[in-house]
């Protein structure tokens, strides 16, 4: 284990979270009412926890601000991340086509400005669903596609801007009792979700099945992080101290290093005040996985 520091009974390890570059985009999904916009956003973000087994990592960032959506309707901002612009374009287009276009009254817009070479085709691909009946419309140098559907038209930006984002910021939270630790983590997640430009891609923002790179089975890219599994304490080189019987992880993706650092700080400050937490650590691979290192003791 890394060396540690302690305030009262809580230990914050002298270690760092290791994160890696990704390509990211923000989309604004609007609808007749916020319930429909949220429904489409949730469906868009389905099966998008980790690029280990998903085509993208995605999550709801926040509600769109009143002046943010081009059509002025209620909206939800979602962020999506992938390892390349081409992979992101494919994932985003498929997810909009299956889960947003199909939802009543929705429209979908780019939430990021970017140079032409940093954009991905969205409506430019989805327009073919219109089977020749689609119509292009240009307003203020921005091109939209109007695709006929059974309740009217689905409007979508021709392209969406992308930026270089960061994936894999994380906190590992160790506790003695499952429910007490879980409640502490849920409180921290709620506070982190108030930070702009970040998402927590895993279900409920919490990971109970952390992974390590590789496996004894050659075909698997990742497998259970046995050093952090309480039931394997006597069968592996454990990272757990006596009394640590449960571990949860918070994984954070963000549009910038500053956003990820702020989200981690908010989570850390929340967890420090919880009696259900014994130790806070972070996952890394000695600096070999990614160039972004978030040292817990330097966050705040």
Which of 130, 163, 196 is the C-terminal boundary of a domain?
Answer: 163
Q: Kindly tell me if the per-residue pLDDT of 7 is higher than 90.
A: no
Instruction: Name the nearest CA neighbour of 59 among 205, 232, 175.
Output: 205
Burial of 87 (0-12, 13-18, 19+ CB in 10 A): middle
pLDDT at 8: 59
Domains of the chain: total: 2
pLDDT at 1: 46
Confidence of residue 289 (pLDDT cuts 50, 70, 90): confident
Residues 6+ apart with CB under 8 A from 281: 2, 13, 15, 171, 172, 174, 239, 296
- Express each pLDDT in 120-158 by its tens digit: 999 999 999 999 999 999 998 899 999 999 999 999 999
Q: Same domain, yes or no, for 221 and 276?
A: yes
Q: Same domain, yes or no, for 12 and 97?
A: no
User: Which residues are bridge partners to 174 per DSSP?
Assistant: 247, 279
Phi, psi of 34 (to 5 degrees): -65, -30
Task: Using a pLDDT cut of 90, give the percent of the chain over it.
Answer: 93
pLDDT at 298: 95
Which of 163, 186, 221 is the C-terminal boundary of a domain?
Answer: 163
Q: Same domain, yes or no, for 154 and 193?
A: no
Question: Within 13 Å and on the Cβ side, how many CA atoms surround 174?
Answer: 23
pLDDT at 3: 47
Beta strands at 135-139 and 119-121: parallel, antiparallel or unpaired: unpaired
pLDDT at 288: 75
Phi, psi of 41 (to 5 degrees): -65, -45
d(CA 215, CA 221): 7
Q: Same domain, yes or no, for 57 and 144?
A: yes
Q: Same domain, yes or no, for 283 and 245?
A: yes
Q: Same domain, yes or no, for 136 and 173?
A: no
Give this prediction's pTM. Answer: 0.94
- The answer to whether 23 and 55 have CB atoms below 8 angstroms apart is no
Q: Same domain, yes or no, for 178 and 49?
A: no
Q: Kindly tell me if the per-residue pLDDT of 168 is higher than 80.
A: yes
Q: Same domain, yes or no, for 169 and 159?
A: no
Q: Same domain, yes or no, for 137 and 224?
A: no
Q: Kindly tell me if the per-residue pLDDT of 285 is higher than 90.
A: no
CATH of the domain at 196: 3.30.70.520
Q: Same domain, yes or no, for 100 and 175?
A: no
| Distance in Å from the first CA to the final CA of the chain | 22
Which of 103, 134, 163 is the C-terminal boundary of a domain?
Answer: 163
pLDDT at 141: 87
Q: Same domain, yes or no, for 32 and 153?
A: yes
Q: Same domain, yes or no, for 186 and 287?
A: yes
Range of the domain at 196: 4-19+165-298
Q: Kindly tell me if the per-residue pLDDT of 4 is higher than 60.
A: no
d(CA 235, CA 29): 48
């Amino acid at each position: 284990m890394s060396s540690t520091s302690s305030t009262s009974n809580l230990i914050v390890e002298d270690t760092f979270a290791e994160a890696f570059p990704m390509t990211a985009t923000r989309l604004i999904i609007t609808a007749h009412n916020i319930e429909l916009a949220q429904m489409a956003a949730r469906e868009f973000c389905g099966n998008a926890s980790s690029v280990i087994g998903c085509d993208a990592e995605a999550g709801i960032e926040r509600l769109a601000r009143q002046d943010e959506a081009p059509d002025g309707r209620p909206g939800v901002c979602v962020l999506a991340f992938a390892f390349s612009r081409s992979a992101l374009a494919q994932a985003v287009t498929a997810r909009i086509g299956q889960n947003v276009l199909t939802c009543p009254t929705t429209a979908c817009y780019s939430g990021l400005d970017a140079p032409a070479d940093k954009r991905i085709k969205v409506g430019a691909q989805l327009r073919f669903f219109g089977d020749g009946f689609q119509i292009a419309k240009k307003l203020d140098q921005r091109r939209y596609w109007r695709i006929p559907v059974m309740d009217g038209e689905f409007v979508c930006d021709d392209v969406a801007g992308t930026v270089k984002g960061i994936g894999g910021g994380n906190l590992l939270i160790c506790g003695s009792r499952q429910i007490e630790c879980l409640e502490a983590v849920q409180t921290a997640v709620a506070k982190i979700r108030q930070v702009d430009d970040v998402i927590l891609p895993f279900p409920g923002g919490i990971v109970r099945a952390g992974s390590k790179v590789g496996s004894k089975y050659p075909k698997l890219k990742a497998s259970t992080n046995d050093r952090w599994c309480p039931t394997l304490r006597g069968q592996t080189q454990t990272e757990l101290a006596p009394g640590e019987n449960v571990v949860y992880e918070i994984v954070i993706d963000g549009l910038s290093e500053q956003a990820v650092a702020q989200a981690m700080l908010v989570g850390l400050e929340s967890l420090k005040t919880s009696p259900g937490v014994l130790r806070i650590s972070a996952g890394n691979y000695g600096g070999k996985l990614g160039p972004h290192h978030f040292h817990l003791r330097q966050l705040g």
